[in-house]
Structure 1
Amino acid sequence: MIPNDALHDLRTFLGERLSTGKSDLSLHGRSETWHAEMPPDAVAYPKDTAEVARIVQICAAHGVPVIGWGVGSSLEGHASAPRGGVTVDFRHMDAVLEVRPEDMLVRVQPGLTREGLNTALRATGLMFPVDPGANATLGGMAATRASGTTAVRYGTMRDQVRGLEVVLPDGRIIRTGSLAAKSSAGYDLTGLFVGSEGTLGLITELTLRLHGQPEAVSAAICAFPDTAAAIDTVILATQMGLRPARIEFVDAATAAILNAHDGGDFTEAPHLLMEFHGSDTGVAEEAARFGEVAAEAGGSGYAWATRPEDRNRLWSMRHRAYHTILASRPGSTAVVTDVCVPISRMGEAIDHAAADIADSGLPGPILGHVGDGNYHAILLVDRASPEELSAAKGLSDRMVAHALDLGGTATGEHGVGLGKLHFMEREHGAGWDVMGAIKRAIDPDGIMNPGKLIRQN
């Protein structure tokens, strides 16, 4: 519990923007997946960096945990509060602070969502490309080093963050990075905080790279006889220099669910979904060449379209896929895998996972970002069945172990949180201890998002 003195100090300047209501606490203790609800003791709603710093200073003085919150779209329990404390909700810090079109940069507050940023950029001819599917906040995306469907062309959050403003565990405010395109000045503190999952400080401002809105966009879809043919197509197309903005994979089970529950018209076979960005001529040529590569690998039904309504329908269906899959088994929750492997081993990894899922008897559709070797199995479990949850977690662990054997990682984009903590030592070895040393140096009292990412004392 939070000491009464700390609650009094927080209420003194936050007033009604400090909540201890049961429904508010419950909301801020939930996860999008199987993780149990772990609510904080209070939720603070700051309006600026100075208020964030004051919140952290009060919490530090009383040894109270501090957890950052965007919109709660993370999948590994990142924003839960296993030790109670204060959740800092950034919904009131959602402004575009400055657009610098000549530098192709923008400064934003952390509570702004990626869709909100792109809406604000419409008249500039620029866009922010990282698309994890969920309309996540930019602060949360930086904290988890998110990526998504467009990473194959534009990169992940690691590639877009030029600089940060961060409130440290003692309440100090620092700035990392600069407006320059490059720097050799000291440690890369920006890179340190991107992906730190709120364990080192709270991000209160971001300077982000922007990209030009493409002149033309087309989307394409193609069915394949098996997973290997689809992955071979991606590898060959990449080797030929083709650079789709998106290359997504859905297996036959996912195709069947999208048909039954979201109005899809897929053949029940593995598919690639692509999107091409560029000039009118360049997009047409790239789409045609990709179709030729797909046909040589046994692909069929290759079709591409440029009408916005057709493209939007395809990608909105893809973005809804997680919730559509959940709805296909009423009353279920999901254990969501997030392994990433060298693309040369992706077909092997997916086939290995599919065979294990089939043997388990659990529903487990597979989809993912094959352009960069990242796939997800959505393992559906009955909320009321501890046995099914245990079986699904075992499946997930075996997928991670196999990915690590192939030279991959436990998480390509969702982050560690609580769910992947037990694989950190195997993946990083002594490097995990180095992460712990950094944590202790910056946050010696361990108040920032405790229980996540690093080895626990």
Structure 2
Amino acid sequence: MSSQLLRLGLQLRPASLVSSLWTTWSRYHSAQSKAHEKVVAAFRSVCGNDGVSVSLEVRKQHGRDESMHRCWPPDVVVFPRCVEEVSALAKICHHHRLPIIPYGTGTGLEGGVGAVKGGVCFSLRKMDQVLDLHGEDFDVTVEPGVTRKMLNSYLRDTGLWFPVDPGADASLCGMAATSASGTNAVRYGTMRDNVLNLEVVLADGTIINTAGKRRRPRKTAAGYNLTNLFVGSEGTLGILTKATLRLYGIPEGVVSAVCSFPSVQEAVNSTVQVLQAGIPIARIAPIAGHVGDGNFHCLIVLNADDPDEVQRVQEFTHRLGRRALSVDGTCTGEHGVGLGKRTLLREELCFMTMEVMQGIKATLDPENLMNPGKIL
């Protein structure tokens, strides 16, 4: 278009050029508006009028999480009610080459739900059913709108519970997508250890089950571990629409103790000795993080409206991440990569490892529609 406008400028007077540019822009804008209306109408044919929103306030609500990253509102928010609707909506997005951003409860901390390239937010809150509970096998299958507290409330009279606790009442599929954990990881592990199977809708609308349909094995050696591939993928490979999770018996008793130490080093030494002794510790929260599983947290209070302060906090978090890498650790223990740690991830992993990740992404999502701009 630029070369056409340049030739046009050589032939017309300035006033005529402005008029011509305005006409061209108006036609382009009109065509874009009609295309947008056509896509929205297609979405509404799938999940009804109340299942689609173009309201600015709704879009803003779904354009950010609880991190310091700015709000990136999507162009449209859809509210599917079942996996079939998710698949149908994804097919429409794939046909029109529209980015897809999955959204659970928005409690993430790395800007993972921001629509940095526009597109369609899939809010999964209406898919909130506990589908299959097998108490004798210690597992349960849930839809993506089910939160941690909802599940444990449902399990209240069974003697079972789901112990992974990231603090916020996050959606369980969102926790799987970010490979969340929490202080209980010392005893019960992270989401990566407790997800047995996932139902996933890929970018083109294809529905797959990572461990086979309705399968819920405690262990498996059946081919590549696709379940763990999608755990921690942060919506960049597909939309998690069901998760089969490992459950545990509720402890008969819990004892808490508050201990003081003369130094941080003595506290760390005590932690090591407790774990080496095999004492069944659930967590070891509260100031420096869950030390028992090697996690370190900083709670930073800042004025988000002060650009200088935001800049200094960003620089601090990068220095902290690099310090973790310098002692053979990782830049992110449980909150994912999202927008905030992409640079650190490249420093943590070698070039060839990043190339393999890019290859997997290109295979499953060749058009780069699934939550673009995150992780890689």
Instruction: Specify if TM > 0.5.
Output: yes
The answer for the alignment partner of 2:29 in structure 1 is none
Q: Give the secondary-structure state (helix, strand or coil) at the position aligned to 1:218.
A: coil
Contact 1:165 1:175 in 2 (8 A): yes
The answer for the alignment partner of 2:87 in structure 1 is 53
TM normalised by structure 1 equals 0.72
Could you give the per-residue CA deviations for residues 192-219 of structure 1, whole angstroms, max 9, x where no partner exists?
1111000000011111110011111121
Q: What amino acid sits opposite 1:171 in the alignment?
A: G
Distance 2:373 2:176 in 1: 19
Quick one: which of 261, 267, 271 aligns to 1:224? 261
1:14-29 to structure 2, matched below 5 A, reads: 14=47, 15-29=49-63
Quick one: which of 364, 367, 370 aligns to 1:442? 364
The answer for the alignment partner of 1:418 in structure 2 is 339
The answer for the alignment partner of 1:189 in structure 2 is 226
1:157-196 to structure 2, matched below 5 A, reads: 157-177=191-211, 178-196=215-233
The structure whose residues are more often strand, as a share, is: 1
Gaps of 5+ in 1: 251-366
Q: Give the secondary-structure state (helix, strand or coil) at the position aligned to 1:139.
A: helix
The answer for the alignment partner of 2:321 in structure 1 is 400
Q: Give the secondary-structure state (helix, strand or coil) at the position aligned to 1:124.
A: coil
Distance 1:118 1:109 in 2: 14
Q: Which has the larger radius of gyration?
A: 2
The answer for the alignment partner of 1:3 in structure 2 is 36
Asked if residue 387 in structure 1 is aligned to residue 316 in structure 2, the reply is no
Cα drift, residue 224 of structure 1 = 2.3
Q: Give the secondary-structure state (helix, strand or coil) at the position aligned to 1:439.
A: helix
Distance 1:89 1:208 in 2: 21
1:34-433 to structure 2, matched below 5 A, reads: 34-177=68-211, 178-250=215-287, 367-429=288-350, 430-433=352-355
Quick one: which of 31, 38, 45 aligns to 1:12? 45
**CA shift in 2, pair 1:181/1:383, >3 Å:** closer
The answer for the alignment partner of 1:342 in structure 2 is none
Distance 2:137 2:273 in 1: 35
Please tell me the root mean square deviation across aligned C-alpha atoms, in Å.
Answer: 1.2
Cα drift, residue 222 of structure 1 = 1.6
Distance 1:8 1:435 in 2: 36
Q: What amino acid sits opposite 2:289 in the alignment?
A: G
Q: Give the secondary-structure state (helix, strand or coil) at the position aligned to 2:67.
A: coil
Distance 2:108 2:119 in 1: 19
Distance 1:242 1:400 in 2: 31
Cα drift, residue 22 of structure 1 = 1.1
Contact 2:324 2:331 in 1 (8 A): yes
Could you give the per-residue CA deviations for residues 352-404 of structure 1, whole angstroms, max 9, x where no partner exists?
xxxxxxxxxxxxxxx31101111111222222221111111111111111110
Distance 2:296 2:73 in 1: 30
Distance 1:23 1:389 in 2: 25
User: Which structure 1 residue ranges, 4+ long, deviate > 6 Å from structure 2?
Assistant: none
How many residue pairs get matched?
338
Distance 1:182 1:244 in 2: 24
Q: What amino acid sits opposite 1:185 in the alignment?
A: A
Q: Larger deviation: 211-220 or 438-447? A: 211-220
Cα drift, residue 414 of structure 1 = 0.4
Cα drift, residue 426 of structure 1 = 1.1
Q: Give the secondary-structure state (helix, strand or coil) at the position aligned to 1:43.
A: strand
Cα drift, residue 410 of structure 1 = 0.4
Q: What amino acid sits opposite 2:337 in the alignment?
A: V
Distance 1:228 1:388 in 2: 31
Q: Give the secondary-structure state (helix, strand or coil) at the position aligned to 1:174.
A: strand
Q: What amino acid sits opposite 1:442 in the alignment?
A: L
Cα drift, residue 433 of structure 1 = 1.4
Gaps of 5+ in 2: 1-31
Q: Give the secondary-structure state (helix, strand or coil) at the position aligned to 1:107.
A: strand
Identity of aligned residues (%): 47
Cα drift, residue 248 of structure 1 = 2.2
Cα drift, residue 86 of structure 1 = 0.8
The answer for the alignment partner of 1:329 in structure 2 is none
TM normalised by structure 2 equals 0.88
Q: Give the secondary-structure state (helix, strand or coil) at the position aligned to 2:131.
A: strand
Distance 1:399 1:39 in 2: 29
Q: Give the secondary-structure state (helix, strand or coil) at the position aligned to 2:59.
A: helix
Q: Give the secondary-structure state (helix, strand or coil) at the position aligned to 1:377.
A: coil
Contact 1:166 1:173 in 2 (8 A): yes
Q: What amino acid sits opposite 1:154 in the alignment?
A: Y
Contact 1:248 1:371 in 2 (8 A): no
Could you give the per-residue CA deviations for residues 323-346 of structure 1, whole angstroms, max 9, x where no partner exists?
xxxxxxxxxxxxxxxxxxxxxxxx
Cα drift, residue 243 of structure 1 = 2.6
Distance 2:199 2:67 in 1: 30
Cα drift, residue 231 of structure 1 = 1.2
Cα drift, residue 434 of structure 1 = 0.8
Contact 1:3 1:62 in 2 (8 A): no
